[in-house]
Chain A
Amino acid sequence: MGVILAQVAVSGILLGGVYALISIGLTLIFGVLRVVNFAHGEFLMIAMYASFWLFHQYGLDPYVSIPIVVALLFVVGVIAMLLVIRPILRASPSMQIAATVGLSTLLQNLALVTLTANYRSVETKLSRMVLSIGPLVMGVSRLVAFLVALAITGLLFLFLQRTYLGKAIRCTAQDRTAALLMGINIDRVYLLTFAIGSALVGVAGALLMQLYPVFPTVGTYFVLAAFVVVVLGGLGNLTGALLGGFIIGLVEAFSGFYVPELKEAVYFVVFIIVLLVRPTGLFGVVGAEEVGLK
C-alpha cells in the first residue's frame, strides 16, 4: 500500500510541476497588470495545437519545437495585449473579465470551427518509455516535463531577480505609481509581462502535448486548475504558484486515487474554501486591496 501511495504522490508531484508552469504565467500577469486573463487556457491550447502541427507537418520532435512554440506564444501575447488587454486596463473589473472571457470564447470556438473537435495526440518514442526507480514507475515524458518546468521557473526567477527588466517588472507589480515616477515605462513593462506570461504557457503547452491530447476546450480544463493554483498560492506570488502547483498536483493525484469520479470536484472545493476563508492564499497577495480582498 505504501508503494502505491508513493506512486500516487510521485504522479502528483510530476503533474504539479506542469501545473506550476501553467500557473506562473497567470500569476505573473495578475501581479503586474492586475488583470485575470480568462483566456489563459486558450493560449495553452494554441501552444498545444502548434506543437502538434509542427510534429505532424514537419516531423519536429515536440521538445525541439519548444523554442518555436514559445516564440509563437510570445507574439500571440503581444497581439492580445495590444488589441484586447491594453484598451481595457482602465476599465472596471467586470468589463475586464468580460473582455478576457470574450477572448476565451472567441479563441476556443475559432479552434472548434477551423480544427474540429477531434482529439489529437502526439506519439513519439519517448511517449511510451518509462523509468523505474526502485518500485516506483514514472513516464519519461512526465519526468522531462517536470524537469523542464522547474528549469524554466528557475530561469524566470533569475530573470526577475538579476536583470533590469526583471526588476522593473517587480517594481511595477509592487507599486505602479512609484515605478512610473522612477522613469520605468509602464506600458512596455505591461506588454513584456503579458508576453512573457504567454510564452511561459507556451512551454507548458509544448510539454503537455506529449502527455495529453489536444482539442478546442482543453484550455478550460487546465485553466480552472491553474486558477485554483494561483489563488492558493496567492495571486501575484510566483513562489506561491510553484508550491501551489505541487499541492494541487498532489490533491488531484490522491483524489483521483480515492474518489476518481469526484476528482475535479475536490480541488474546486479546495478552491472555494481558500477563496472564502483565506482569499489572499497561503502566501499573501500583491495588491489585495485593489481587488477588494481586504
Chain B
Amino acid sequence: MSTPMQREGTMFSTYRFIPTSSLYTLVGLAAVVSVLAFNVADKFYLHVLIMMLFYAAVSSAWNIVGGFAGQLSLGHAAFFGIGAYTSSLLFINFGISPWIGMLIGGVLATLVAGAIGWPSFRLRGPFFTLVTIAFAEVLRILTLYAHDLTRGSIGISVPFRPAVGNFIFRQLSAYAVVALIFLMLTVMVNLWIESSRLGYYLAALREDEDAAQALGIDTARYKLVATLVSAFLTALGGTFYAQYILFIEPFAIFSLDFSVLLAMMAIIGGIGTVWGPVAGAFLVTPLQEGLQAKLGGELHGLHLVVYGAALIVVVILLPQGIVPSIAGRVKRAFGHHEARPAPPVKGES
C-alpha cells in the first residue's frame, strides 16, 4: 500500500493527551492560592506569594526554550525588559492601558526573538548561551543610551493611578490573582506543548539533532517556535513586574542576574518538565524574599550564595532536578517504571 502523503487530524486534539493528574494539580494550586490571596493579611507574605507566582510563571516561560528545546538561554532578560519598557512607555507617554501595552510588548518581544533567534540556532552549547548573553547586554546598553526615550539610568516610575484599566491595584490580592492567572497560562502552555507534536519534536532535537533531522524535523524552525512562545510569555511577565513594582530601570530589568535566576529555578526544580520550574520558583523565592527582608542590606546576596551552591549540587547529584527525582522515587515505590521526556544527561546511554 503505497500511501499518498496526506495530512490527517489536527493539533487541537492534543488537549486530550494532557495528563489529568496535571490538570488536577493546576486546579488545586489555583484553589489554594486563591484562598491565600484573600485571607492573608500580612502584606509581606502576600508579596512573597505574588513573587512566587511571578517567578514560577516567568521561569516556566523560560523553560520552553531552556528545557523543552534544550537551549540554555541566559538572555531572557531581553524579552522581559522589552515587555516592561514597552507597556510602561506607552502608558506614560500615550495613556495606553498597560493591558494593551502588555500585548504589544509581547508582540515586539516575539519579533525581536525571531530576529535574533533565527541566526543563533546554528550555535550549540555554550556558544548559544554566549550569544544570548551578548544580545541582552546590547539591549541593556542601548536602553541606557537612548535616555531621551527611556529615561536611561534614572529609570521609569509608573504613576500610581489605581484602576483596573490601568493594571494598577490598591489591593495586593488583586495582583496575586493576576499573577495566578499568568502562572496558569504559562503552565497550560507548557502542558499543551509537552503532549503535542511540538513537544515531541523539541524532545527529539534535544536528544539527537541529527536523528531528528533524518526524521523530517526542521530543527531550526521548531527551536524558533519555542523561542517565540517563550519570548511572548516572558514579556508579559515584564509588564506585570512594571505594574507591580511601579519602577523599572535598565540595570535591574535587563540584568544577567535575572536571566540566570530564571534558569536556576528551572534547573533546580527540574528542567524540561512542566512542574519543575514552578517547584523551583516556589522553593527559591521565599528564601530570597525572606533573606532580603530580614537581613536587609547587611547580608545582601546571601540568597544567591545559597542558590549558586544549590545549582552546583543539583547539577552534580540530581541533574534531572528535584521534581523528577522525587516523582521517580514515588513511582518506583508504587512499582512503575515509565519513561517520561527528561533532560539529556549524556553520561548515561
**What residues make up the interface of A, taking CB atoms closer than 8 Å to B?**
36, 84, 87-88, 90-99, 101-110, 112-113, 117, 216, 220, 224, 227, 231, 261-262, 264-265, 268-269, 271-272, 275-276, 279, 291-293
Instruction: State whether B308 touches A105 (Cβ < 8 A).
Output: yes
**Interface presence of B160 (CB below 8 A):** no
CA distance A117 to B298 in the complex (A): 11
Instruction: State whether A103 touches B308 (Cβ < 8 A).
Output: yes
Known: A36-B125, A265-B137, A292-B124. 18 other contacts (CB 8 A): A36-B126, A90-B346, A92-B343, A92-B346, A97-B72, A98-B72, A98-B315, A99-B315, A102-B310, A103-B308, A105-B264, A109-B302, A113-B302, A271-B130, A272-B138, A275-B123, A275-B134, A291-B124
The residues of A that contact B145 with a CB separation of less than 8 Å are: 261-262, 265
Instruction: State whether A279 touches B127 (Cβ < 8 A).
Output: yes
Contact partner of A105 among B70, B126, B130, B260, CB < 8 A? B260
B119 to chain A, nearest CB (A): 5
B308 to chain A, nearest CB (A): 3
CA distance A247 to B241 in the complex (A): 40
CA distance A98 to B263 in the complex (A): 8
Given A92-B346, A106-B309, A264-B141: A101 touches B134 (CB 8 Å cut-off): no
- Beta-carbon nearest neighbor of B259 in chain A: A101
Instruction: State whether B319 touches A91 (Cβ < 8 A).
Output: yes
- Beta-carbon nearest neighbor of B129 in chain A: A97
Instruction: State whether B343 touches A94 (Cβ < 8 A).
Output: yes
A286 to chain B, nearest CB (A): 14
Given A113-B301, A224-B137: A91 touches B347 (CB 8 Å cut-off): yes
- Beta-carbon nearest neighbor of B124 in chain A: A292
CA distance A292 to B138 in the complex (A): 25
- Beta-carbon nearest neighbor of B130 in chain A: A227
Max chain B C-beta neighbours (<10 A), residue from A96, A104, A113, A231: A113
Instruction: State whether A93 touches B138 (Cβ < 8 A).
Output: no
B66 to chain A, nearest CB (A): 8
Instruction: State whether B134 touches A292 (Cβ < 8 A).
Output: no
**Interface presence of B131 (CB below 8 A):** yes
Instruction: State whether B308 touches A106 (Cβ < 8 A).
Output: yes
A-B complex: 4 closest residue pairs judged by Cβ atoms:
A106-B308, A292-B124, A102-B311, A93-B125
Given A88-B316, A107-B308, A268-B138: A291 touches B125 (CB 8 Å cut-off): yes
A64 to chain B, nearest CB (A): 32
**Interface presence of B5 (CB below 8 A):** no
The residues of B that contact A276 with a CB separation of less than 8 Å are: 119-120, 122-123, 131
CA distance A264 to B142 in the complex (A): 10
Contact partner of B125 among A97, A216, A269, CB < 8 A? A97
Instruction: State whether B134 touches A293 (Cβ < 8 A).
Output: no
Given A105-B304, A220-B256, A272-B134: A265 touches B126 (CB 8 Å cut-off): no
Instruction: State whether A87 touches B141 (Cβ < 8 A).
Output: no
B325 to chain A, nearest CB (A): 14
User: How many contacting A-B pairs (Cβ < 8 A)?
Assistant: 159
- Beta-carbon nearest neighbor of B308 in chain A: A106
The residues of B that contact A227 with a CB separation of less than 8 Å are: 130
CA distance A184 to B10 in the complex (A): 57
**Interface presence of B74 (CB below 8 A):** yes
Instruction: State whether A265 touches B131 (Cβ < 8 A).
Output: no
- Beta-carbon nearest neighbor of A272 in chain B: B134
The residues of B that contact A97 with a CB separation of less than 8 Å are: 72, 125-126, 129
The residues of A that contact B271 with a CB separation of less than 8 Å are: 94
Contact partner of A93 among B124, B260, B301, CB < 8 A? B124
Instruction: State whether A279 touches B123 (Cβ < 8 A).
Output: yes
Instruction: State whether B345 touches A95 (Cβ < 8 A).
Output: yes
Instruction: State whether B144 touches A293 (Cβ < 8 A).
Output: no
B264 to chain A, nearest CB (A): 7
Given A84-B312, A88-B316, A91-B346: A291 touches B126 (CB 8 Å cut-off): yes
The residues of A that contact B1 with a CB separation of less than 8 Å are: none
Contacting A at CB under 8 A, from B197-220, are: 209
**Interface presence of B231 (CB below 8 A):** no
**Interface presence of B286 (CB below 8 A):** no
Instruction: State whether A275 touches B343 (Cβ < 8 A).
Output: no
Instruction: State whether B312 touches A109 (Cβ < 8 A).
Output: no
Given A109-B301, A268-B141: A293 touches B135 (CB 8 Å cut-off): no
A197 to chain B, nearest CB (A): 15
Contacting A at CB under 8 A, from B74-132, are: 74, 119-120, 122-127, 129-131
CA distance A275 to B129 in the complex (A): 11
CA distance A216 to B134 in the complex (A): 21
The residues of B that contact A117 with a CB separation of less than 8 Å are: 300
CA distance A112 to B295 in the complex (A): 14
The residues of B that contact A261 with a CB separation of less than 8 Å are: 141, 144-145
Given A102-B308, A109-B301: A275 touches B127 (CB 8 Å cut-off): yes
**Interface presence of B307 (CB below 8 A):** yes
Contacting A at CB under 8 A, from B247-286, are: 256-257, 260, 263-264, 267, 271
The residues of B that contact A292 with a CB separation of less than 8 Å are: 123-125, 127, 209
CA distance A88 to B311 in the complex (A): 12
Could you list some 24 contacts between A and B, CB below 8 A? A36-B130, A88-B316, A92-B70, A94-B66, A95-B343, A98-B263, A99-B315, A102-B307, A102-B309, A103-B308, A105-B307, A106-B308, A106-B309, A216-B301, A224-B134, A262-B141, A265-B142, A265-B145, A271-B131, A275-B120, A276-B119, A279-B127, A291-B125, A293-B127
